[in-house]
Amino acid sequence: MNDAKLIACSRMYNVSPGVRARWDDLFVWLGGQAGVALDIVAHASPAPLSELWERPDMGAVFMCGYPLSRWWDAERPTILAAPVAQASWAGGRPYYASHIVVAADGPLKLASGLAAATWGWTVRDSQSGYNAPRGFLADLLSGKAPERRTVGPLLNPTGVVEALRSGRIEVGAIDAYAYELMAMHEPDTVAGLRIVATTEPTPCPPLVSSPSAPAEMVSALRQALLRAHELEDGRALLRQLGLARFALPEMADYGILAERAEAVDRRLAAW
């Protein structure tokens, strides 16, 4: 179709080597279906995700909806499609949420103790690991100042889990879809954790392409993702990732993320 070489990356949801291998399988299938050569890259932590999202050769890369919602210039990435999880919190839509989690054997036994707990957070440009838990806590505090310190950046869900287990934090937020992947494929990772609440669902991270990626390649990748659930081999790959299908969201859908973050900033000091 085109001699251009584009990259694919599931960094946001590379919750373990085994899960990454399943994403790689999906990307290999996607490239074959679309007739697009995809170079699968890791862009492993602690390399900043912001550097990944600025690459001019993105073909299919997961991007958090919050920074996408605040990116209005001509270099903003192009949405390919967004995953629709099989889990009930998705409601059959390309939405996700954050699980508020504690150590099952930790000091917090009741959700009423969350307001005075030590919270952990991932990175400040994250919806699931920063803005969602801050909004949840702001509602709990009802205008009062937090009583305890916060700990971060913990970078990713794995960092939150490790901080909970070590006792550095008492409560944290984990992307509900990332939690689902860990529970499916690496159950020991979330063993000993307890979900005490789940935030309101919001538009989930989409797969994006660079704005300079050839239009015909972007279209082919998008169409392959959108029809994956219609094909037997596509459905098998989706099941391995806890997905029902991919859907095409509108860019305007993500505006709510920036609006909510700004509202929380007015109610709660930055972590």
1, pLDDT greater than 80? no
| Residue 66 near residue 257 (C-beta atoms within 8 A) | yes
Once rounded to an integer, what is the mean pLDDT over residues 62-82?
95
Once rounded to an integer, what is the mean pLDDT over residues 4-13?
94
The letter for the amino acid at 232 is E
| Residue 114 near residue 108 (C-beta atoms within 8 A) | yes
pTM across the whole model: 0.94
Tokens found for residue 86: 């099989």
Find residue 172's DSSP bridge partners: 101, 120
Q: What is the pLDDT of residue 2?
A: 67
Q: What is the pLDDT of residue 80?
A: 98
| Residue 80 near residue 225 (C-beta atoms within 8 A) | yes
143, pLDDT greater than 90? no
Beta carbons within 8 Å of 256's beta carbon, 6+ residues apart:
69, 202, 203
109, pLDDT greater than 90? no
| DSSP sequence for 206-230 | PEEE-TTS-HHHHHHHHHHHHTGGG
Q: What is the pLDDT of residue 153?
A: 96
For the stretch 166-195, pLDDT in tens is: 999 999 999 999 999 999 999 999 999 999
pLDDT band at residue 142 under the 50/70/90 scheme: confident
Alpha helices by DSSP H, 118-229: 132-141, 157-166, 176-185, 187-190, 215-226
> In the 8-state DSSP scheme, what is residue 167?
T
pLDDT band at residue 46 under the 50/70/90 scheme: confident
Neighbours of 194 (CB within 10 A): 16
148, pLDDT greater than 80? no
The whole-angstrom separation of Cα 34 and Cα 206 is 18
Which CB contacts under 8 angstroms, 24+ apart, belong to 30-33? Answer: 30/60, 30/221, 30/224, 30/225, 30/228, 33/224, 33/228, 33/234
pLDDT band at residue 113 under the 50/70/90 scheme: confident
pLDDT band at residue 158 under the 50/70/90 scheme: very high
The whole-angstrom separation of Cα 13 and Cα 179 is 10
| Residue 6 near residue 37 (C-beta atoms within 8 A) | yes
> In the 8-state DSSP scheme, what is residue 200?
P
